[in-house]
Amino acid sequence: MARSKSSGRWLKEHFDDPYVKQSQQDGYRSRASYKLLEMSKKDKLIRPGMTVVDLGAAPGGWTQVAMQLVGDSGTVIASDILAMDPIAGVTFIEGDFTEQSVYDKIIMALNGCKADLVISDM
């Protein structure tokens, strides 16, 4: 099945995008990583030692940045309906976070702590 002209145009624009190229060079899973890096730099959003919950996390660009910024002393819990390749140090919960069973898993992963920050790029 052939791609439509608009699909081909989108792919060309996507692969020509400087943030897509930079994310590939830097090892980030998506160009969206730079949005969170910029917000965090400007507003000191994420700091070492924080507990961060990332909802709608796949493919994991924001999760990567969050883990990088909280460091070993922090906690990152990521959840998405879609599967996501593992990220070192991150607890991933697959499922719809609006469903009680998934919500309960997120609460259990917090291990009695409160989240310092909930992020989402949905």
Backbone angles phi, psi at 86, to 5 degrees: -60, 150
| Tokens of residue 68, six digits | 């990088």
CA angle 45, 48, 51 (to 5 degrees): 75
Enter the pTM of the model. Answer: 0.81
Dist. CA 38–CA 82, nearest whole Å: 26
Write down the pLDDT at residue 31: 76
- Report residue 111's pLDDT band, with 50, 70 and 90 as the boundaries: very high
Can you list the domains of the chain with their CATH numbers?
5-120 (3.40.50.150)
For the stretch 37-75, pLDDT in tens is 899 989 999 999 999 999 999 999 999 999 999 999 999
Q: Which of 6-15, 72-81, 112-121 has the lowest mean pLDDT?
A: 6-15
CA angle 13, 122, 105 (to 5 degrees): 140
Residue among 12, 67, 9 nearest 40 (CA) = 67
